[in-house]
Amino acid sequence: MTSGRIIFLNGTSSSGKSSIARELLEILDDGVFFHLAVDGFNAMRTKRELGAAELDAALRRTRAGFHRSIAAMAAAGNDLVVDHVLSEPWRLLDCLAVLRPEDVLFVGVHCPVDELTRRELARGDRPPGLAAHQYDLVHRHGDYDLECDTGTATPRECAQRIKDFLPHRPTPTAFTRLRRHHLPDL
């Protein structure tokens, strides 16, 4: 069975990843794509109040399970659009360890901080300042196959750019380069 392709969108909260993913599902026409969003996994968690330590442990397990779910879906031959926030170094390392790097098109989704703040306030479903806090964290690894800026392009324009780029993925991919750098023993 052939592994599925993974379009991996990484950016801060409110950067436009989910909007781009929805547009990709509308315009991608060379396979059946599924949108896997980390927020969707978070939404499945119990709603009872959790203490800080319990919440941290649950979130870490959720992220690790999310990464393995991506790998399992792709291994079964499914094409995926992944929507994630790699705001902690271990998240990228875990993804590098469990995903086939040659299957991943790694896309950096950027947006200016003032626009992130405006979107976050308009949404009203995120803690104020979350996106600004994540801003310098999510892209610090510094290597992507493709980057988009939702401050200057619409989600549809970003999706079209990704669609046009997909058949021309570089070799080695950003995930391959990052894996060699961070996990040379794999």
- The residues annotated with a catalytic role in the active site are 39
Sign of torsion over alpha carbons 85, 42, 74, 72: positive
β strands within the chain, DSSP E: 6-10, 33-37, 79-84, 104-110, 146-149
How many CA atoms, within 13 angstroms, populate the side-chain half-sphere of residue 106? 26
Listed residue (6, 2, 23) closest to 155, CA to CA? 23
Asked if 163 contacts 28 with a C-beta cutoff of 8 angstroms, the reply is yes
Q: For residues 172 and 157, what is the distance between their CA atoms, to the nearest angstrom?
A: 25
Let me know how many helices (H) and strands (E) the chain has, helices first: 8, 5
